[in-house]
Amino acid sequence: MEETKKKVMLSGIQPSGDLHLGNYLGAIKNWGARAEEFDCYYFMADMHTITVRQTPADLRRRTLTQLAQYIACGLDPEKNTLFIQSHIPAHAELGWVLNCYTMFGELSRMTQFKDKSAKHADNINGGLFTYPALMAADILLYQPDYVPVGNDQKQHVELTRNVAQRFNNIYGDVFKVPEPYIPKTGARIMSLNAPDSKMSKSIPEGCVFLMEKPEDIQRKFKRAITDSDTERCVRFDPENKPGVSNLMSIYAAVTGKSMEEIEAEFDGQGYGAFKPAVGEAVIECLRPIREETERILKDKAYLESVYKAGAEKASYVAYGHSLVCNPWGEILAQLDEKPGVQVVDIDLGDLAKYRGQIPILSGRRGDLYRTEDRT
């Protein structure tokens, strides 16, 4: 019986800072559950990180720490391909090619370029502007069916789809056009002290980091923004109670309880009881991740074996897909990333016709040299 080929899923996170609760609940926690259903590729996007100035030693440390955290969060290297982006030269190579098929207007409309330009006004570099083309290369190299993203990242997947379709319209079906995969739960965790903004390492007081000390986590939750309600204050109402609703979403994600169960649990209690309870639940959720990350980081040889094995498999996929094309770039046959043999019939009688249509051949200097048929 022929084995059914799994659909491919790919995603990555920049090692620009320590991973936080939003990364875990919004993305990584969901990734681990998909290995049985999908062929999964997850990477450390270190090439994207250098659009903002980095200290090399710190970037290397954060990259390895992020890899250890991926594993500690449940991404089994035996079931998922984990790799470092810069270890696969094909990312940069295809990134340049796709730069040439991405329109200036498309790049100028990307919201992250506008946001980062405002934050780093002294370093508005070309990479910051063209990074969506590299992001498209990150995705299209592996021909994924799905790219798990939050609602705020859908714009990048849409650009990738546009670039892939534009390229395919010119050269044939080269790239698979991926679909965004948005999880139904835990997709967007907001800042504790600015609940109208996504949790981000750039607002450290409103951000809970995976490796943070328990006492610091509890302190941040006790200081989390809520409101002045005193009766039935713990209720889910994102429009009128964004801070409380965010805390309830976090509590639901780490305990598995429904909003109705949470409201019943804290009925008649104030924020003085609710906020520490959320903090304690998060502490217990992150404790095994922190401890396992610390253990893995002590085993440098193991980490090296994981990222080298991941790079080998990722390179194998990225550099596969051998093609047979006619002189005008039309694809006659194509293989995938697995070893294989493709037989194609080529009409040698067409050679003279094709060569007659190539202008450079009409410039031969027969008075200076001659060609010989030595067959």
Q: Write a three-state SS string for 116-152.
A: HHHHCCCCCCHHHHHHHHHHHHHHHCCCCCEEECCHH
What pLDDT does residue 1 have?
A: 40
Residues taking part in catalysis: 116, 198, 201
The pTM for the full model equals: 0.80
For residue 158, the tally of other CB atoms under 10 A from its CB is: 12
Beta-bridged to residue 148, according to DSSP, are: 181
Give me the phi and psi of 300, to 5 degrees please: -65, -35
What pLDDT does residue 187 have?
A: 55
Q: Report the topology of domain 7-185+299-318.
A: Rossmann fold (3.40.50)
What pLDDT does residue 225 have?
A: 92
Query: Do 168 and 175 form a contact (C-beta atoms < 8 A)?
Result: yes
What pLDDT does residue 125 have?
A: 87
Output the six-digit token pair for 216.
């610091």
For residue 176, the tally of other CB atoms under 10 A from its CB is: 15
What pLDDT does residue 3 have?
A: 54
What pLDDT does residue 76 have?
A: 95
CATH 1.10.240.10 domain locations along the chain: 204-289
Sign of CA dihedral 34, 40, 46, 48: negative
What pLDDT does residue 123 have?
A: 79
Alpha-carbon distances, residue 134 vs 4, 160, 161 (angstroms): 31, 10, 13
d(CA 256, CA 248): 11
What pLDDT does residue 352 have?
A: 73
Q: Would you give per-residue pLDDT tens digits along the chain (375 residues)? A: 445 688 999 999 999 888 999 999 988 988 888 888 899 999 999 999 998 889 999 999 999 999 999 999 999 999 999 999 999 999 999 999 999 999 999 998 887 777 777 777 787 888 889 999 999 999 999 999 999 877 667 888 999 999 999 999 999 889 999 998 876 655 579 999 999 998 988 889 999 999 999 999 999 999 999 998 888 899 999 999 999 999 999 999 999 999 999 999 999 899 999 999 999 999 999 999 999 999 999 999 999 999 999 999 998 887 766 778 777 677 788 777 667 788 888 777 777 777 777 776 667 677 777 766 666
Give the architecture-level CATH label for domain 204-289: Orthogonal Bundle (1.10)
d(CA 50, CA 41): 22
CATH 3.40.50.620 domain locations along the chain: 7-185+299-318
d(CA 140, CA 164): 8
